[in-house]
Copies of this chain bind each other. A is one copy, B any other.
Amino acid sequence: MEIGVLGTGLVGRTIGTKLFQLGHEVLLGSRDEANPKAIAWAKKLGGHHALYGNFRNAAAFGEIVFNCTLGAASLDALHQAGAENLKGKILIDVSNPFDYSTEQLSLTVCNTDSLGEQIQRAFPEARVVKTLNTMNFNLMVDPDKIPGRTNVFVSGNDLNAKGKVTMILRDWFGWKSIIDLGDITTSRGVEMYMILWVSLRRVFSEDERLNIKIMTS
């Protein structure tokens, strides 16, 4: 499959590499067409299946598009990608709306809205599925790094798109406990949880892999 990945940070490169290893054609998109990290990534993987370009190139290329940009820059990146290149496509939103300008880490949007919802509103013809934002990048594509079947969540309005993303999480990335939280408004919960996650990361600083498991009686 041809997949576009927006964002050349650790998240974008990790997901892009995993998809490449699974045999997909991946175009890593960034603000500037000639992003050094994207060029190095494509060179390292080699062949014709690891490509790079700008956000517009990545979105146009992908049958599925991952948003792995910084949350505070996501809407701008997606506008650069272009609504016409996202139309009808599954847009997997992995980002968190962290606001690094405040003294203590906070969110740019929360409580009565979320980044997932903002993206879905801004691109009504994209089929937005929020997922994978609740953990460290290296766990996203390798959940067995933590034993005990921890959870990943999906939020979105399009049931068909959520079904496809659930398949990707399970069959491609190896997730065994996937929880469908509901429509895109449930992005609020998974984004707001990240403030607790940041505290937990500080407590368990010796181990950057950390995730939650939902337990019931």
Contacts and interface: CB of A to CB of B under 8 A. Distances in A.
A45 interface: no
Interface in A163-217: 179-182, 185-186, 188-190, 192-193, 195-200, 202-204, 207, 209-217
A204 B214 contact: yes
A136 to B, nearest CB: 10
A112 B199 CA distance: 14
A192 B189 CA distance: 8
Interface of A: 102, 104, 106-107, 110-112, 145-148, 150, 153, 179-182, 185-186, 188-190, 192-193, 195-200, 202-204, 207, 209-217
A153 B197 CA distance: 12
Nearest to A103: B112
Contacts of A146: 215-217
Contacts of A214: 200, 204, 210-212
Contacts of A190: 196
Given A179-B200, A204-B214, 12 more contacts: A104-B185, A106-B111, A110-B110, A147-B215, A147-B217, A179-B203, A180-B203, A181-B203, A182-B202, A189-B197, A200-B214, A207-B216
Contact of A196 (B104, B148, B189, B217): B189
B111 A107 contact: yes
A212 B210 contact: no
Nearest to A110: B111
Nearest to A209: B217
A215 B197 CA distance: 12
Contacts of A212: 212-215
A216 B203 CA distance: 12
